[in-house]
Amino acid sequence: MNKRIGVIIARPYYTVNRPQICGILKECYRHGDSAYVFSINEEFYYEQALPQAWNILHAVDFERLDGVVYVPYSIARDETKQKILEHLRTRCHCPVVMISTDPEPYPTVWFDERALIEAVTSHLIAEHGCRDILCLTGPAQMQTSASRAQGWRDALEKAGIPVSEERLVYGDFWINAPKLLANELADGTRPMPEAIVCGNDRMALTLCDALEESGIRVPEDVLVTGFDGIIEAELHNPSITTCVPDWEQLGTIAMQKLYCLMEATGPEAIQTAGYRLLLGESCGHQRQRSQQESLKYNMLESRYLDTAIHSIKLSDDNITDLMNSIYNATYFYASTNYPEYAQFSCCLCSDWNQTAFSQGSARYRTRGYSEEMLLMQRFGTGKPFPLTRMVPEEMDSDVPSVTYFVPLYFHDRCFGYTLLRLDGIADSYDIYYLKFCVEIGSALAFFCLQNEYRSFAYRSLIQGSRDALTGLYLFDRSLSMCEEMASAAQLYGETLYLLVLHLGGLQQVEDAQNRMEKDRLLLAFSDILVRNCRGREQVFLAEEGTFYLLGSGVQPQERTETLRARIAEEFRTGNIPHQEIVWLTSAVRLMEPAGLTDFSEIPEMLRQMADTLKNTQQPTYQEKKHRVRLTALRQEIYAHPERAWTAEQCAGRLCMSQSYFFKIYRNCFGTSCSQDIQRSKIAYAKKLLLQTDMILQDIADRCGYDYSHFMRLFKKEVGMTPTAYRKGAAV
């Protein structure tokens, strides 16, 4: 199997970085190997996005790599460089080569920048006759600044020109130092030289602009040169004369050094990367930018605008359409020049669409990637693969190739990464692919934002559709949910069942106690209803004391009977306040959704059932009168099941005839006194079976039954023998 080489580089589309990758890839392909390029997208000015600069390294499994080329020169911030180095020290056990001016901590390759600065300075002396030449280099503490300054000294000394250290200015390799120098030259603080040699093109570009703003013309008043050959140097007006190292050769040398380390072949042959002078208008030459390059640049810009990719992706409101838009756009961004060799994939974290409304401190992912990634396919489905693979199986190939890893993020939010594999292509990466990835990150962020707003709107809607006290849905404001339940029942071929429950006596509770006591009762009963729901069942509050329970299933008759029995049982035996005053009634209606012609039939049907319940089965005056005493008796039966209760004794205890007692007891509680006595003893037997080691004979005696009768009764009520019940609980 071919080797895998990891390349860690920032801004791989830069003019100075792309040729390095090209040299690395050509050497890889020559050995029949492949490369994984991890793009560090460092945004120098944007603090919030800085954590994403090196986040892509979390996708690297160094155990799968045979060697690594790290290009710290491409990274602007020292903080980012140090984090990447620490990442390599702690996780990477394969050979590493750096393209860098720093000699530690890994073997490095670099060009002779001293010789290159000498060459561009000698050009000013030999071709333009300059003798008063100022050198603007980088920070004084950097070795590369000293090397470039020494190249300026070498050229002056070879030409017999005295070296004045006052003509050496230490800068920043950025924009502040050249602006300060331009101000000093404009106000006469520093004498005007004939030419200025800048330590890099960025300072040369900024210096030209700052001098022009101060009324100093380039090249008429002063000549300016740069160093390193970035694309802006060619496009700038005036174009910059610069010394361009052979970056591609530098990449090749780095790979040759890495192969020597991987194969332990001993010291590599010493090579030095070459260079060329790119002459521009800043020292009086004609612009060397070719007409072909200009046309290509304008063509790519116009094609980028013509695709309207930004608007297209922001108009997608579901993941299927979004993925379609992304994959349809790859014809331009991912495979413009090599469509037959390119393969693109979008890999997202498993929690990529977590919303800001999610519970917990971390609203969404900001660091690292999920252990399981999702290969998002064209039609929105995600195929999982482990992060340790780095690439899904579909992207693996034994053909020498390059795979670019580009992070997908927006601000501090991490979504995943894109993969672009090109087989056998070396010069393959450009800025338009990065633009494409930035657009994907923006589209994903906008998609998540849309979801958050939809979720917020839905929650606001639901909040307005719920009862403030019980939290139940208000039926009149939730008709769409009922319609969806009816549609689902029709889809699954199930029967729809409508259960109406009504609590009577609520006004009496409020009159006898207060509003708060009535609210306690409603909350307790609502909890019973919600606790007994399952599957496709939903409880609604119709009005105070009236509840609708809608559900669907294939055995509606059995389910509704069980449901009514459980609710009634918990209402009778549970901790329901003021049972001596309130009463529960219920009614059921079954419907076949296929025969439902108009959804409005359901609400009207439920209202009619509720009205019927309100006007029937109300306790008589005598029943209400005795309810307090009956409730106290019932509570005592359940509190002391070990006593020898009989229905006849209970009637005598309340000084009632047996027939009258049996009648009002059933009317009040929906069950007979004998059934309550039996249930209390069975509940007591269950407790003894679970909490003691008593033998069955003793338990039967304690409950007031002979052994054989107890065994038959327990199995009938519980559905299993006492022994099986005890063993099942132990398991």
**Ordered DSSP codes for 110-122:** ---HHHHHHHHHH
In whole angstroms, give the CA distance from residue 590 to residue 605.
11
Paired strand residues for 410: 413
In whole angstroms, give the CA distance from residue 707 to residue 712.
9
Which of helix, strand or coil describes residue 560? helix
Q: Where are the beta strands (DSSP E) in 253-380?
A: 275-278, 342-349, 372-376
- On whether the CB atoms of residues 564 and 622 are closer than 8 A, the answer is no
In whole angstroms, give the CA distance from residue 540 to residue 477.
10
At residue 600, φ and ψ (nearest 5 deg) are -65, -15
Residue 214 tokens read as: 């101060």
* Rama region for 578: left / alpha / beta (φ>0; ψ in -120 to 50; rest): left
Cα 730 to the center of its chain, rounded Å: 43
Residue 292 has what pLDDT? 44
Residue 460 tokens read as: 């606001």
Residue 534 tokens read as: 């399952």
In whole angstroms, give the CA distance from residue 627 to residue 247.
97
113-128 vs 143-158: helix axis angle to the nearest 10?
40
Q: What end-to-end distance do the CA atoms of the chain give, in Å?
A: 53
Cα 242 to the center of its chain, rounded Å: 45
In whole angstroms, give the CA distance from residue 14 to residue 20.
10
* Rama region for 510: left / alpha / beta (φ>0; ψ in -120 to 50; rest): alpha
Considering only CA atoms, which of 685, 683, 682 is closest in space to residue 694? 685
Question: Cα torsion for 559, 562, 568, 573, to the nearest 10°?
Answer: -140
Q: How many CA within 13 A on the CB side of residue 149?
A: 21
Residue 144 tokens read as: 């590369």
- On whether the CB atoms of residues 4 and 33 are closer than 8 A, the answer is yes
Residue 111 tokens read as: 């060009």
Cα 453 to the center of its chain, rounded Å: 16
Strand 195-198 vs strand 275-278: parallel, antiparallel, or unpaired?
Answer: unpaired
In whole angstroms, give the CA distance from residue 152 to residue 119.
9
Question: H or E segment at 186?
Answer: helix 176-186
In whole angstroms, give the CA distance from residue 409 to residue 406.
10
- On whether the CB atoms of residues 39 and 59 are closer than 8 A, the answer is no
Cis, bond preceding 105 (omega within 30 deg of 0)? yes
Listed in sequence order, the residues at least 6 apart from 331 whose beta carbon sits closer than 8 Å to its beta carbon are 339
In whole angstroms, give the CA distance from residue 241 to residue 173.
17
Paired strand residues for 422: 342, 402
pTM over 0.85: no
Residue 136 has what pLDDT? 97
Listed in sequence order, the residues at least 6 apart from 548 whose beta carbon sits closer than 8 Å to its beta carbon are 475, 498, 499, 500, 539, 540, 541, 542, 606, 610
Going along the chain from its start, the domains and CATH numbers come out as 4-104+314-451 (no CATH), 113-245 (3.40.50.2300), 473-618 (3.30.70.270), 625-730 (1.10.10.60)
Residue 335 has what pLDDT? 54
User: Mean pLDDT of successive 10-residue segments in the chain (731 residues)?
Assistant: 89 84 93 92 61 83 94 83 89 92 85 91 95 95 90 96 94 92 94 95 95 94 91 87 90 92 66 81 76 49 54 68 83 62 88 62 78 85 89 88 91 90 82 83 86 69 76 85 82 86 82 78 90 88 91 88 85 72 84 69 86 68 67 82 88 87 78 86 88 89 88 86 78 45
Type of residue numbered 410: F
In whole angstroms, give the CA distance from residue 332 to residue 340.
13
Q: 646-649 long-range CB contacts below 8 Å, 24 or more apart?
A: 646/674, 646/677, 647/672, 647/673, 647/674, 647/677
| Helix, strand, coil share (%) of the chain residues, nearest 5 | 50, 15, 35
Q: How many CA within 13 A on the CB side of residue 542?
A: 24
In whole angstroms, give the CA distance from residue 190 to residue 167.
9
Considering only CA atoms, which of 23, 3, 6 is closest in space to residue 69? 6
Type of residue numbered 271: Q
Cα 659 to the center of its chain, rounded Å: 70
Type of residue numbered 362: A
Residue 410 tokens read as: 């927006």
Paired strand residues for 586: 501
Residue 638 has what pLDDT? 83
Residue 256 tokens read as: 């040759």
Q: Where are the beta strands (DSSP E) in 337-412?
A: 342-349, 372-376, 382-386, 401-410
CB neighbours (10 Å) of residue 73? Answer: 21
